[in-house]
């Protein structure tokens, strides 16, 4: 299927079959950095191949990390906590994980590093992470607007005192992940480093992924309470030798939604009930809306009785902010109103997703109310066909979400469909394989 500047998708009647989704982006970029920092060589299987991992791999190569592809595996040679390259100008595009994770990791290195990204990356906040790192002796400076990239990081003596370190993680859980990984390289007077979160923590399942991976790499983090994480101060990262990345639950959401709207049965392989990803809760949300869900450790299958319409729900989306976007489009096919709450983080992603989703849903005729941190969506009384198509704001998830609007009565035109390469380059090809159009 073409991914030129505009992609027209004909009205879709049903969806069924089996699709295997690529590896998790969240797990992939964490695993790459941990493999780079650890002692030993790590073979990673099912790594997601996309813009975000390409940017992380490119940055690691600039930092002197040796890696290679062997078939579909990636083999990463660890640097025992010390990047070989002491000076680098790193460009990370629109990859938030690469920007946040490397900011923390590089602040504990001896060297001078410049970190910049795409224009939108320079609008995404990083001040709370920088404040925490500078409080323990890092030397990170803003090159333009305070609180935002681009950054210059100078090597300095980072030392964690006995009272630990604090972090405001209310804007992004990626700050906490960045610190958890970086502090495995920090020196401290005490046996452990306590990392305390203030002002609440969003997207907690992403932190669980980080803690699970740190344990795999030999550093068990102790969760003292909902806001305190204890890192052993004198353990260093060790390669697990082999690591297999589970399928991406956020990417699975589009196919699970297609199975619910298009009645299925549609089976998604590569992710299941044992997943550590918060977006796995999306399956439960579909069940609450009236879909039938079957699940094992390895797959999820969705179907729906065509005589039983989907129904609107109210759901707290704090643990699944990415998959919540998919629910907003599923709401177009549900009776009643769907309310997605606790989604303030949408506003500091690849675009202001709350505003963008509201605009594009209204183009299709939906009744939408956009709040500061919530969205209410009601299905169209009469579907509209936007003449200029669905705008995607250089945001991969908006493009994938709105492909599902083709289950309505009109063709859907997606502008800039190539933006899905950020996390899922083969998305439209896989969608075509499991969706069936009117004869």
Element (H, E) at 8: strand 6-9
Task: Report the DSSP pairing between strands 41-45 and 73-77.
Answer: antiparallel
CATH number at residue 402: 3.65.10.10
Residue 424, SS3 per DSSP:
coil
Which two three-digit tokens encode residue 400? 């994938």
Any catalytic annotation for residue 208? no
**Looking at the domain assignment, is residue 186 inside a domain?**
yes
**Looking at the domain assignment, is residue 1 inside a domain?**
no
pLDDT reported for residue 439: 59
Residues 223 and 250 in one domain: no
**Looking at the domain assignment, is residue 237 inside a domain?**
no
Last residue of a domain, one of 196, 231, 266: 231
Q: Are 64 and 85 in contact (CB under 8 A)?
A: yes
Which two three-digit tokens encode residue 28? 């992939």
Last residue of a domain, one of 190, 207, 231: 231
Residues 174 and 262 in one domain: no
Q: Are 282 and 327 in contact (CB under 8 A)?
A: yes
Residues 324 and 430 in one domain: yes
Q: Is the peptide bond before 305 cis (omega within 30 degrees of 0)?
A: no
Residues 150 and 107 in one domain: yes
State which residues form the domain around 408.
6-22+246-437
Residues 211 and 301 in one domain: no
Residues 285 and 365 in one domain: yes
DSSP string, 195-223: EEEES--S-HHHHHHHHHHHHHTT-PPEE
Give the Cα separation of 124 and 165 in Å (integer).
23
Residues 178 and 208 in one domain: yes
Give the Cα separation of 32 and 53 in Å (integer).
8
pLDDT reported for residue 56: 98
**Looking at the domain assignment, is residue 239 inside a domain?**
no
Residues 82 and 184 in one domain: yes
Residue 226, SS3 per DSSP:
coil
Residues 45 and 16 in one domain: no
Residues 122 and 181 in one domain: yes
pLDDT reported for residue 4: 54
**Looking at the domain assignment, is residue 213 inside a domain?**
yes
- Below-70 pLDDT ranges, the chain: 1-4, 438-439
Question: Whose structure tokens read 């982006």?
Answer: 25
Which two three-digit tokens encode residue 428? 């439209």
**Looking at the domain assignment, is residue 381 inside a domain?**
yes
Which two three-digit tokens encode residue 227? 């806001």
**Looking at the domain assignment, is residue 259 inside a domain?**
yes
| pTM for the whole structure | 0.90
Q: At what angle do helices 96-106 and 51-62 cross, to 10 degrees?
A: 20
**Looking at the domain assignment, is residue 157 inside a domain?**
yes
pLDDT reported for residue 1: 37
Q: Are 98 and 63 in contact (CB under 8 A)?
A: no
Considering 319, 322, 395, 416, which one is annotated as catalytic?
Answer: 322
Question: Whose structure tokens read 């190539």?
Answer: 418
Residues 304 and 398 in one domain: yes
Measured over the CA atoms of residue 94, residue 99, residue 101 and residue 102, the dihedral's sign is positive
Last residue of a domain, one of 184, 206, 231: 231
Element (H, E) at 249: helix 249-261
Give the Cα separation of 62 and 84 in Å (integer).
9
Number of independent structural domains in the chain: 2
User: 285: closest CA among 264, 247, 263, 256?
Assistant: 256
* No. of helices (H) and no. of strands (E), the chain: 12, 27
Residues 184 and 272 in one domain: no
Sheet containing 73-77: give its strands across: 67-70, 73-77, 41-45, 242-244
């Amino acid at each position: 299927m073409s991914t030129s500047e505009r992609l027209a998708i004909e009205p879709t009647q049903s969806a069924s079959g089996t699709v295997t989704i690529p590896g998790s982006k969240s797990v992939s970029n964490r695993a790459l950095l941990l493999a780079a920092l650890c002692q030993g060589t790590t073979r990673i299987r099912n790594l997601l191949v996309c813009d975000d991992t390409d940017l992380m791999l490119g940055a690691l190569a600039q930092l002197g990390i040796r890696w290679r592809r062997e078939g579909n595996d990636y083999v990463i040679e660890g640097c025992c906590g010390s990047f070989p390259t002491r000076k680098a100008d790193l460009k990370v595009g629109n990859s938030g994980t690469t920007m946040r994770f490397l900011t923390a990791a590089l602040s504990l290195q001896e060297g001078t590093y410049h970190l910049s990204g795409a224009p939108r990356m320079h609008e995404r906040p990083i001040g709370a992470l920088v404040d925490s790192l500078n409080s323990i002796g890092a030397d990170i400076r803003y090159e333009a607007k305070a609180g935002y990239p681009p950054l210059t990081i100078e090597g300095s003596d980072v030392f964690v005192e006995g009272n630990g370190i604090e972090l405001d993680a209310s804007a992004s859980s990626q700050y906490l992940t960045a610190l958890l990984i970086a502090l495995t390289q920090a020196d401290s007077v005490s046996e452990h480093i306590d990392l305390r979160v203030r002002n609440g923590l969003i997207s907690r399942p992403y932190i669980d992924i980080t803690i699970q991976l740190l344990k795999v790499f030999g550093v068990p983090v102790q969760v003292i309470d909902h806001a305190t994480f204890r890192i052993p101060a004198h353990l260093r990262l060790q390669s697990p030798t082999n690591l297999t990345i589970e399928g991406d639950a956020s990417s699975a959401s589009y196919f699970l939604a297609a199975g619910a709207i298009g009645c299925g049965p549609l089976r998604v392989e590569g992710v299941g009930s044992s997943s550590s990803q918060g977006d796995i809760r999306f399956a439960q949300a579909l069940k609450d809306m009236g879909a039938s869900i079957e699940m094992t450790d390895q797959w999820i299958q969705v179907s729906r009785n065509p005589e039983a319409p989907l129904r609107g729900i109210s759901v707290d989306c704090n643990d699944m902010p990415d998959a919540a976007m998919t629910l907003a489009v599923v709401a177009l096919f549900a009776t009643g109103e769907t309310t997605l709450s606790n989604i303030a983080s949408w506003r500091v992603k690849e675009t202001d997703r709350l505003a963008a989703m509201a605009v594009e849903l209204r183009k299709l005729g939906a009744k939408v109310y956009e709040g500061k941190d919530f969205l209410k969506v009601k299905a169209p009384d009469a579907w509209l066909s936007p003449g200029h198509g669905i705008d995607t704001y250089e945001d991969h998830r908006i493009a994938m979400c709105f492909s599902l609007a083709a289950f309505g009565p009109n063709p859907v035109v997606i502008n800039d469909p190539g933006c899905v390469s950020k996390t899922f380059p083969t998305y439209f090809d896989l969608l075509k394989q499991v969706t069936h159009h009117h004869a």
